[in-house]
């Protein structure tokens, strides 16, 4: 028996697989090493308190004289006095002075006093970070650290180079940030993200939230430490450090092509000779193929920084070092007038940086290389959005001809359903097979993408695509406690050709889905894998679940909610059901399956006979004005003045939502309503028919 020790030790050390005889000793040694690394790192972590507001946050000391880094939004409550207190794991509080600030990028520096020397964290190199790398986040979530000992959460890097928009283009914008699946909650803001060696690779500051308030959902973001390094010279001197800009805008102009469309007169771009229509090739020697990539990278530099820009003008390649203009920061009222700017500091730092040899990206780890196949075999799906229902999801490529497996959802009712592959190509899709019992669907992508690479030779443009399918495991499908990784498109975080999100978890158990009590109606009653990972997020349905060896062992299902506790189930279809579904689809010849109750082919929406109140449209409440005699709704018992609460499991908060839902249903589809009649909730279910002649 071979034990993958690195996996059992949560990936914080790289240990080769070993035999069962000495595996336990190596796991214990790895665990002790990890505990020692975390203990050492925690001594540099600061728990910041805001006495006036009663809240708090986190930070990290980066030099022995007490200099530290945190988020701007953490120390904003300490203005205008610019003083507060912070606790360390030695159990003591120390005076804290706020130094420089970067409101646009959500950074700030502070200084602690009261000790001759402080233990400082080592800054790492965020350019060497890869998807799947183990990380741990340290901070003061929910102000739990009454003794100033910080909380530690572990996880992996879920994505790199992410962009998270702010309240506006000049405040709290996270560019080129690191996405992680370690738990980040209120109070973690400003705390450090460490790699397995205990080096700081980022500052935690944001997370994705949906439906559940400010509670961790497995997607969080850290400002990369290499970006922070560029701002530290000004921040440590107590300055307002603003972000840089070229003074030009970029638009997408075909597959992986970005073109300047507007150049401001007198801007840095104009002085360098950039003109509208020029094609942008690279920033700081990093290739740029989209407007999103341009915004993401240029936002990581402070004003006054020197950056090498490479572009193409009338077929000629041009490369110049350009000093960036400034993007004026949006300052809160309590901060305005307190700070000055001095871009000579960043100019000097930029020249020092350019005189040093460029860092090189290390070779991908075995873990990162193992993700290559599953990332190539997983696609982003975009389709119908109805009410609060997300119009995006995930699918898995299952054939070299472009068949994609996903879950049945309203997403698939779009008139223009499309998939985006890892290389950034966009493909029109159609549903070719439905399994209403399993709630799975098979899609077929077009032979050629919509966004053809027009710079490629014509014969390459005309070549029929070949896909990189995944094959469901046909052996052991995982036992309780086995490590797993989920690859998908939650919250539409990945844009364009950015890699999908990777999350780590474990198989928590197996059960039949109908073992749940007081849960929403769900047709599938078979066995599922219970997951110790948060997969009940918008867009996660259809994600691939792979084991530590990279075998495809499951597919994340549509969100299932308990009506009794308002909790969400994290589960996946096991590989056996995936194989059975694909076999059924193949035996059906790729044609759409129509078991009893499934929808039949129809040109337009199905007919129900419900007319909503005109008053309802003004008030946006879906009251039934009348019901057509003899219609499906009339025969099922829908009455005038009924208030529609939900339809097919979707909350109906507005009349528009009900109409959008029904527009995507066809004759033969079921419509399951919950209506409020007086003080009673009444369930009603019926089948839509062809519209009357």
- Residues marked active site are found at 73, 106, 189
Pairing label, strands 93-102, 107-112: antiparallel
Pairing label, strands 403-407, 650-651: unpaired
Give residue for tokens 């193409």.
312
Other C-beta atoms lying within 10 Å of the C-beta of residue 315: 6
- Written as one string, the DSSP assignment of 373-416 is HHHHTEEEEE---BTTB-SEEEEEE-STT-EEEEE--GGGG-SS
Residues 6+ apart with CB under 8 A from 298: 175, 244, 245, 246, 283, 307, 324
Beta bridge partners, 533, equal: none
3-state SS of 129-190? CCCCCEEEEEECHHHCCCCCCCEEEEEEEEEEEEEECCCECCECCEEEEEEECCCCCCCCCC
Beta bridge partners, 61, equal: 68
Report whether 220 contacts 162 (CB < 8 A). no
**3-state secondary structure at position 373:** helix
Q: What angle do CA 430, 431, 437 make, to 5 degrees?
A: 170
Q: Quick one: 557 exposed, middle or buried, by C-beta within 10 A (0-12, 13-18, 19+)?
A: buried
**3-state secondary structure at position 594:** coil
Furthest C-alpha separation in the chain: 88
User: What is the C-alpha to C-alpha distance for residues 46 and 229, in angstroms, rounded to an integer?
Assistant: 19
User: What is the C-alpha to C-alpha distance for residues 76 and 489, in angstroms, rounded to an integer?
Assistant: 33
Cα dihedral 16, 22, 26, 31, rounded to 10, equals 130
User: What is the C-alpha to C-alpha distance for residues 392 and 386, in angstroms, rounded to an integer?
Assistant: 11
Helices (H), 43-117: 72-75
Report whether 110 contacts 75 (CB < 8 A). yes
Pairing label, strands 199-207, 122-123: parallel
User: What is the C-alpha to C-alpha distance for residues 79 and 179, in angstroms, rounded to an integer?
Assistant: 30
Report whether 191 contacts 41 (CB < 8 A). no
């Amino acid at each position: 028996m071979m034990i993958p020790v690195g996996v059992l030790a949560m990936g914080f050390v790289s240990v080769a697989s070993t035999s069962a005889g000495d595996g336990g000793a190596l796991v214990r040694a790895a665990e002790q090493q990890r505990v020692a690394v975390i203990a050492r790192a925690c001594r540099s972590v600061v728990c910041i308190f805001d006495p006036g507001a009663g809240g708090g946050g986190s930070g990290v000391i980066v030099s022995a004289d007490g200099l530290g880094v945190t988020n701007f939004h953490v120390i904003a409550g300490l203005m205008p006095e610019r003083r507060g207190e912070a606790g360390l794991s030695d159990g003591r509080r120390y005076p804290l002075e706020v130094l420089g600030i970067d409101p646009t990028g959500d950074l700030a520096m502070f200084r602690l006093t009261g000790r001759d020397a402080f233990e400082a964290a080592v800054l790492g190199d965020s350019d060497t970070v890869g998807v799947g790398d183990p990380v741990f986040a340290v901070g003061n979530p929910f102000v739990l650290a009454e003794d100033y000992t910080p909380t530690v959460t572990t996880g992996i890097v879920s994505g790199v180079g992410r962009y998270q928009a702010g309240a506006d283009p000049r405040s709290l914008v996270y560019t080129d940030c690191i996405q992680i699946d370690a738990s980040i909650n209120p109070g973690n803001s400003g705390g450090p993200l460490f790699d397995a060696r205990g080096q700081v690779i980022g500052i935690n500051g944001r997370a994705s939230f949906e439906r559940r308030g400010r509670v961790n959902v497995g997607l969080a973001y850290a400002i990369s430490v290499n970006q922070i390094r560029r701002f530290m010279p000004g921040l440590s001197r107590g300055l307002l450090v603003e972000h840089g800009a070229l003074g030009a805008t970029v638009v997408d102009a075909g597959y992986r092509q970005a073109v300047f469309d507007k150049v401001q007169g007198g801007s840095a771009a104009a002085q360098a000779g950039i003109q509208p229509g020029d094609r942008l090739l690279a920033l700081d020697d990093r290739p740029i193929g989209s407007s999103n990539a341009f915004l993401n990278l240029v936002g990581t530099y402070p004003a006054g920084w020197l950056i090498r820009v490479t572009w193409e003008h009338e077929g000629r390649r041009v490369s110049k070092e350009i000093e960036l203009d400034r993007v004026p920061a949006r300052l809160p009222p309590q901060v305005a007038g307190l700070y000055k700017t001095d871009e000579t500091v960043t100019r000097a730092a930029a020249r020092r940086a350019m005189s040093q040899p460029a860092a090189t990206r290390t070779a991908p780890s075995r873990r990162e290389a193992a993700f290559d196949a599953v990332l190539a075999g997983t696609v982003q799906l975009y389709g119908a959005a109805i009410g609060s229902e997300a119009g995006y999801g995930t699918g898995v490529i299952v054939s070299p001809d472009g068949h994609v497996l996903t879950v049945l959802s309203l997403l698939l009712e779009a008139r223009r359903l499309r998939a985006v592959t890892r290389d950034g190509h966009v493909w029109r899709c159609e549903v070719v097979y439905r399994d209403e019992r399993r709630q799975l669907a098979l899609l077929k992508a077009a032979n050629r993408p919509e966004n053809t690479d027009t710079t490629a030779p014509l014969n390459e443009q005309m070549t029929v695509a070949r896909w990189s399918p995944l094959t469901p495991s046909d052996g052991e499908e995982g036992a309780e406690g086995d490590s797993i990784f989920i690859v998908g498109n939650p919250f539409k975080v990945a844009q364009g050709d950015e890699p999908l999100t990777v999350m780590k978890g474990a198989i928590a158990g197996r059960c039949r889905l109908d073992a749940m009590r007081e849960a929403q109606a769900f047709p599938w009653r078979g066995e599922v894998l219970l997951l110790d990972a948060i997969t009940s997020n918008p867009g996660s349905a259809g994600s691939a679940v792979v084991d530590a060896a990279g075998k495809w062992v499951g597919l994340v299902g549509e969100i299932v909610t308990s009506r009794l506790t308002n909790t969400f189930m994290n589960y996946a279809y096991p590989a056996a059901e995936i194989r059975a579904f694909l076999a059924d689809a193949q035996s059906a010849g790729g044609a759409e399956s129509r078991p009893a109750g499934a929808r039949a082919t129809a040109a337009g929406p199905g007919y129900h006979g419900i007319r909503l109140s005109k008053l309802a449209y003004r008030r946006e409440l879906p009251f039934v004005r009348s019901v057509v005699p003899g219609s499906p709704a009339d025969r099922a018992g829908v009455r005038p003045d009924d208030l529609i609460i939900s339809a097919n499991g979707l909350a109906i908060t507005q009349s528009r939502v009900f109409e959008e839902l029904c527009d995507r249903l066809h004759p033969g589809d079921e419509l399951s309503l919950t209506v409020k009649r007086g003080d009673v909730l009444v369930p009603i279910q019926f089948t839509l028919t062809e519209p009357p002649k």
